[in-house]
Amino acid sequence: MPKIHPINLKNVSEPTPERERRGIQSIEVGGEILKVLASEPRPMALKDLVKAANMPSGKIHPYLVSFAKIGLVAQDPFTGYYFLGPMAIQLGLISLQTMNPVREATPFAEALAQETTHSVAIAVWGNLGPVIVRLIDASYPVHTNIRTGSVMSLVNTATGRVFSAFLPRKLIEKMMLEDRIRLGPDIAHPLEEKVVERMIEEARTRKLSRGVNHPTPGVASFSAPVFDYSGNIVLAITIMGPTGTFDTDWDGRAAKALRVCAESISKRLGHHAT
C-alpha cells in the first residue's frame, strides 16, 4: 500500500515566494484588526478587540477611526461597539460573486491527489446531472471509464449520491427516475431503490458518500460536497483507487483527507460550517 503522509491543505492556494517581499507594515497591522472583526459574529467592544488582536488600545483606535471614514468599520452609536462597515461587506460580496468554484478547487484537488497518490475528480451540476470537469490521475493505473466530460449516475456513483443528498429533491426527482441514461457499460447491476435512499441519507448525514466495487468492480471511492457562501452545493470532490490499496474506512486516511480538502474549498468559497 502506498505510504500516505498527513495532508496539509491550509495554504495550498497561496504560492510561497522565493523571498519575503517588502510591504507596508501599517496596512498589515490594519489587516489583522479587520481579521479579528471578521472572525466575530457580533459587534465587539474596544476592550475585547484589544484582547483578541493582542494590541494596545492606543494603537488600535487610530486604525478604527480611519477605517470608519472609508466604510471598512462602523461603530454602534449607542453601545460604542465596532463591526465591519458597508465597504467591507461590499468588497466581500464582489469577491464571492466573481469566484470560479472549479478554479478555486483545482489547487486543492491537485494537492489531495499528490499527497494520497489516488485519482481525484471535480464534478459540477450539468444539464444531465453531475459532470466531471477536472480529473487528476493517480500515480498508478486505475481501471475506470471516468473521463473529463463523463456524466455520473445520480444513484449508482458516490459522486452522484452527493448531489442527490444536497440538491433540492424536486430538482433531481425526474432525473433520478431517468437515471439509466447516465449508466455506463461498467454499471451492470444498478442498486435497488431502498438501498439508494439509505445511501443518500447516509451521505447527507456524513457529508460523504462511499462506493466500493460499485459501479466499477475493483474500484473504491469517496465523494464529498463543496458548498458556497450561501450554503448551496456547487461541486463535488471525489477520490478513488483500487480496492486493494484504497482505505475504505469512513474514518480512514482517504476519507479524512477528502473531508479536509472539501471543507477547505468550501471555506475558500465563503461557506461557514454550522
Q: How confident is the model at residue 42 (pLDDT cuts 50, 70, 90)?
A: confident
CA–CA distance from 71 to each of 26, 139, 270 (Å)? 18, 50, 21
| C-alpha 167: how far from chain center | 16
The answer to whether residues 144 and 169 belong to one domain is: yes
The answer to whether residues 199 and 239 belong to one domain is: yes
C-alpha cell at 130: 453531475
Range among 14-23, 26-35, 177-186, 265-274 rated most confident: 26-35
User: What pLDDT score does 173 carry?
Assistant: 80
Point out which residues pair with 126 in neighbouring strands. 129
By DSSP bridging, strand 73-75 and strand 82-84 are antiparallel
The answer to whether residues 50 and 151 belong to one domain is: no
- 3 pLDDT higher than 50: no
| DSSP alpha helix (H) spans, the chain | 25-39, 46-53, 57-70, 86-97, 101-116, 158-166, 169-177, 193-206, 253-268
Range of the domain at 219: 101-268
Q: For 67-73, what is the mean pLDDT? A: 92
CATH code of the domain in which 235 resides:
3.30.450.40
Count of domains forming the chain? 2
Q: For 135-141, what is the mean pLDDT? A: 81
Does residue 11 lie in a domain region?
no
CATH code of the domain in which 44 resides:
1.10.10.10
What is the spatial distance between Cα 225 and Cα 163, in angstroms, rounded to a whole number? 7
Burial 8-28 (b: 16+ CB within 10 A, else e): ebeebbeeeeeeeeeeeeeee
